[in-house]
Structure 1
């Protein structure tokens, strides 16, 4: 008598347990993270179903948060994740980030540091390198756009006032808020942070676009230059 089979393909699973059928019957909210990811990678390998492969990925990198900044090469470290699957996962993560950003920015009113931090915290708190973004505001403090200005840290060699204000001028912004992240998890401003902020505030006064705050996002913490009296 043959022993019980220990590994199944998705098609061999009971219909009620197959991710696609489950989603169609109940809705996406009833699927686990592994099941949702399995729908993206579609197939497993000889030893693991797509769901098990997805769970392997989540276990190795500490859940969804750990997948956020992985390269295709890092994703391919899992046996069964080749170039195609890695590209699909990478594309999904980037698309999710962009959709999240659009939801956060649409018709938002930013009138205090907490609102400014919350607008970008979800997508910036776990970045592995420093990124500077600018919240462009109209005369009623509604968000016009949130362009990315630079990557790699704040210094005069990377951040030039021309780049910071170019989009603000083009979009007729009344004011802007600077936002950048500290991958270290410490929101304390560096000497470069303080220096470039003073330079940008001075430039804003000259061209008539006020910088009303500079927010540093560091993990679950944030620091407001305005609240700390650093302007």
Structure 2
């Protein structure tokens, strides 16, 4: 049975899971869906005569091009049989939200140009904490800060500190480089053997993933130590 034949069924729930739009998005990502499948998810339901996929196809066919749909007014939308005021509002809201997302630039939170910049920034974030915190700064290719995050709290050892948690965020925000830092509540920023081993593993992981590790900063009271400057990696 072809996909087109399956689409004659009354409801989405009667379709096999592998061709339901929501299930396909979860399994394969939004990029894998056709325009009518994406529109069907926005519509959520069809009407008495058409399921959501059939209604989405009808809307796209009636407007002819996606540009014509993007510029359609509320009045234009409700002229399509099966599209009432509620669905017209949903479509227009989705289109406007997509337009705003497209026009949004990634927020920048400063720039790191030197080891001192990195150290001073990390001191400000970590110096007064009573527990060890592992902190990551995510940078673009111009060393602009695009995200920062406390990755975990607790003693830095192999049981809790794993590069995947740090790089997962880096991949998510499309970082080109990262700086990792953690504090020593004792006030002494000298690295432990666990600090050194973690740094080497982090740098090796970054090389494999393609996100450069610029430094690992250890923060004491009002001072810091750069493991990159110590030649640890």
Q: TM-score band (shorter)?
A: 0.5 to 0.7
Q: Which has the larger radius of gyration?
A: 2
2:131 corresponds to 1:132? no
Structure 2 CA distance for aligned equivalents of residues 111 and 179 of structure 1: 16
Instruction: Tell me the equivalent position of 1:224.
Output: 226
Structure 2 CA distance for aligned equivalents of residues 186 and 107 of structure 1: 28
Instruction: Tell me the equivalent position of 2:183.
Output: 181
Q: How does 1:18-37 map to 2 (within 5 A)?
A: none
Structure 1 CA distance for aligned equivalents of residues 165 and 109 of structure 2: 24
After superposition, the C-alpha distances for 1:121-157 in whole angstroms (9 at most, x for unaligned) are 1231111110001010001000011111111121110
Q: Is the 8 A contact 2:206 2:212 kept in 1?
A: yes
Other structure's SS at 1:147 match: strand
Instruction: Tell me the equivalent position of 2:204.
Output: 202
Other structure's SS at 1:214 match: strand
Other structure's SS at 1:146 match: strand
What is the root-mean-square deviation in Å for CA atoms of aligned residues? 1.3
2:171 corresponds to 1:166? no
Instruction: Point out where structure 1 has 5 or more consecutive residues left out of the alignment.
Output: 1-104
Q: Is the 8 A contact 2:109 2:147 kept in 1?
A: no
2:96 corresponds to 1:107? no
Instruction: Point out where structure 2 has 5 or more consecutive residues left out of the alignment.
Output: 1-106
* 1:106, distance to aligned residue in structure 2 (A): 5.5
Number of aligned residue pairs: 127
Task: Note closer, same or farther for the CA distance 1:209–1:219 as it changes in structure 2 (3 Å cut).
Answer: same
Other structure's SS at 1:129 match: coil
After superposition, the C-alpha distances for 1:49-106 in whole angstroms (9 at most, x for unaligned) are xxxxxxxxxxxxxxxxxxxxxxxxxxxxxxxxxxxxxxxxxxxxxxxxxxxxxxxx95
Deviates most, 110-119 or 210-219: 110-119
Structure 2 CA distance for aligned equivalents of residues 138 and 122 of structure 1: 21
Structure 1 CA distance for aligned equivalents of residues 207 and 108 of structure 2: 28
Q: How does 1:86-101 map to 2 (within 5 A)?
A: none
Q: Is the 8 A contact 2:219 2:225 kept in 1?
A: yes
Indicate which of 122, 125, 135 corresponds to 1:123. Answer: 125
Structure 2 CA distance for aligned equivalents of residues 162 and 226 of structure 1: 20
Structure 2 CA distance for aligned equivalents of residues 106 and 140 of structure 1: 11
Provide runs of 4+ in structure 1 moved above 4 Å. Answer: none
